[in-house]
Amino acid sequence: MSEISCTYLVVGGGIAGVSCAETLVVLADPKDSIILITESSLVKAATNLVPLGKVLTRFDVQEKSSKSLNSNIQVIEDQLLKIESENHIVLTVNGNRILYRYLCLCTGARPKLIDQARGNPNVIGIRDTESVQEFQKRVKNATRLAVVGNGGIASELVYEISGIEVHWVIKDEYISSTFVDSGAARFFQERLTTRGEQKAIIKRMRYSEETAESSGTKRGAALGPDWHRTVDISGKLENVPDAVKIHYKVEIEELIQQDQGFPLKLRLSNGEEIECDFVVSATGVVPSRNFTCDREFQLGPDQGLFVNWEMATSVEDIYAAGDVCYAGWEHAKHWFQMRLWTQARQMGAMAARTMAAKRTGETIYQDFCFEMFNHVTQLFGYQVVLLGRYNGQGLDDKYEVLVRTADNVGAILIGETGLEETSENLILNQLDLTPYGEDLLDPNIDIEDYFD
């Protein structure tokens, strides 16, 4: 057992943890030490940042070696086991004893598998690099796949995969309901007929992990927004139906193991049955708290660590950021929490700002990025920009949706619209657009110039 001391201890090698550690390098006193604990020698970092507005930023999530991080960050490949908050000490699986002044927990989340999947080897979740590798192995020898879930990973998967028959099981009335409304969903659904087109695999530098084969307990950080472009996820069929078979407004009632034919049979809530090689469960995530603490943390309704706007937990000198936390402060009118890499990066940086300020006794205010929900992603081959309560969240259906579509442009700023900053300003300025009605969607009107 070794004993180490540090000023700032960050746990987690995902976007939140790396963002926190890298921000501390900039803000903290150079004399203060920073330690990052990561379960894998690979970490996730935000690269190629492109500002699209006041708060909106597009970036790539790159998997890189922990050795490539700033030299002022001491990286320890280990796993948090126990927190002794009274003495400001953490204990790790490998026997390290680390004394800290401030601790930030960025342990992320784990896939929330469907209830019937417990212990079933033919049901997998996709969350990190390791689970994608497992998916690749299975899909190469499969002919039929069922995907359960209606969020980002499910939407990306059914569009990008090729060489396999796909059944998409969703409980909603339209696809991709996590991110878009029914109008945008209809626009996207046409893209499913051209799924798996000759996509270019991005050749990025991959760092090997020597212990990846031997350590079954290691968990990598969450996937980035373009994970499917860095790997080959194609099945073995040459002639496969172009369209994805979508099963609307249903859930899985029973999973039946079979000795002959396909290994699995899915019985749906409408009585329909689907035989397949395996199932991908993409039904969301739950906060990962695989450690103990001598004091009980206050938890949110989703079992995440309850944090205030400073990203501070209920335990003194312990902060949390990213998927593991629950945003417990009073939210701005146009902001809400959603477990995405964008918010993980923002929360990690905010936690670093708070810890550095506490250290020096300075007063800080909440970052402006928490004034409005903002996220940039890729869906069905398009850039998608989400701003504010983009899908009427919290409005109890008391709203009207205006939709205009054209080549490469769609609802919720789908495609290269150039309207990101204009839309930001309209939301933040709370301008009543009711008098303009459908004129807002007239392709002959330059909205950007009109509201300049």
Write the pLDDT tens digit of every residue in 231-264: 556 666 666 665 689 999 999 999 999 999 999 9
In this predicted structure, which of 126-140, 259-273, 372-386 has the lowest mean pLDDT?
Answer: 126-140
Judge contact between 227 and 233, C-beta under 8 A.
Answer: no
Residue pLDDT, tens place only, 36-46: 999 988 898 88
Predicted confidence at residue 379, as pLDDT, reads 82
Predicted confidence at residue 447, as pLDDT, reads 56
Q: How far apart are the C-alpha atoms of 9 and 432, rounded to whole Å?
A: 46
Q: How far apart are the C-alpha atoms of 62 and 45, rounded to whole Å?
A: 5
Sequential DSSP letters for 409-430: BBTTTBSS-S-HHHHHHHHHTT
> In the 8-state DSSP scheme, what is residue 121?
T
Three-state SS at 408: coil
Higher pLDDT, 237 or 324: 324
Predicted confidence at residue 302, as pLDDT, reads 93
Mean pLDDT computed over every residue of the chain: 81
Split at pLDDT 50, 70, 90, the class of 192 is: confident
Predicted confidence at residue 9, as pLDDT, reads 98
Q: How far apart are the C-alpha atoms of 322 and 315, rounded to whole Å?
A: 17
CA 155, 378, 349, 13: dihedral to nearest 10 degrees? 60
Work out the burial of residue 327: count CB atoms within 10 Å of its CB; fewer than 13 is exposed, 13-18 middle, 19 or more buried: buried
Q: Is the pLDDT of residue 230 over 60?
A: no
Split at pLDDT 50, 70, 90, the class of 77 is: very high
Phi, psi (5° rounding) for residue 343? -70, -30
Judge contact between 410 and 90, C-beta under 8 A.
Answer: no
> In the 8-state DSSP scheme, what is residue 13?
S
How much is the average pLDDT of 106-112?
89
* Edge-to-edge strands, sheet with 264-268: 252-257, 264-268, 273-276
HSE-CB of 104 using CA atoms within 13 angstroms = 37
Q: Give the closest residue to 262 by CA, choosing from 165, 335, 360, 340.
A: 165
Higher pLDDT, 115 or 407: 115
Higher pLDDT, 281 or 221: 281
Predicted confidence at residue 351, as pLDDT, reads 98
> In the 8-state DSSP scheme, what is residue 287?
E
Residue pLDDT, tens place only, 380-432: 877 788 888 776 666 555 555 544 444 434 335 544 556 566 666 656 555 55
Q: Is the pLDDT of residue 296 over 50?
A: yes
Higher pLDDT, 365 or 430: 365
Judge contact between 392 and 401, C-beta under 8 A.
Answer: yes
Judge contact between 89 and 99, C-beta under 8 A.
Answer: yes
Q: Is the pLDDT of residue 272 over 70?
A: yes
The H helix count followed by the E strand count for the chain is 7, 26
Higher pLDDT, 159 or 268: 268
Q: Is the pLDDT of residue 367 over 60?
A: yes
Task: List Cβ<8 Å contacts ≥24 apart for 336-343.
Answer: 336/373, 336/389, 336/393, 336/394, 338/373, 338/375, 339/109, 339/285, 340/152, 340/375, 340/377, 341/15, 341/44, 341/46, 341/61, 341/222, 341/224, 341/225, 342/57, 342/374, 342/375, 342/376, 343/375
The residue with tokens 């205010």 is 365
Split at pLDDT 50, 70, 90, the class of 186 is: confident
Those residues with Cβ within 8 angstroms of residue 232's Cβ, 6 or more apart along the chain or in another chain:
136, 201
In this predicted structure, which of 42-46, 149-153, 345-349, 396-400 has the lowest mean pLDDT?
Answer: 396-400
Predicted confidence at residue 118, as pLDDT, reads 65
Q: How far apart are the C-alpha atoms of 125 and 128, rounded to whole Å?
A: 9
| Domains of the chain, CATH where assigned | 3-108+288-370 (3.50.50.60), 111-200+215-285 (3.50.50.60), 381-450 (no CATH)
Those residues with Cβ within 8 angstroms of residue 143's Cβ, 6 or more apart along the chain or in another chain:
164, 165, 235, 236, 237, 277
Predicted confidence at residue 200, as pLDDT, reads 45
Cβ-based neighbour number of residue 322 at 10 Å: 34
How much is the average pLDDT of 288-303?
95
Q: Is the pLDDT of residue 216 over 50?
A: no
Higher pLDDT, 72 or 119: 72
The residue with tokens 């996820």 is 233
Predicted confidence at residue 411, as pLDDT, reads 34
- Range of 85-89, 134-138, 405-409 with top mean pLDDT: 85-89
Token pair of 284, please?
A: 């969301």
Higher pLDDT, 344 or 163: 344
Judge contact between 324 and 108, C-beta under 8 A.
Answer: yes
Cβ-based neighbour number of residue 22 at 10 Å: 22
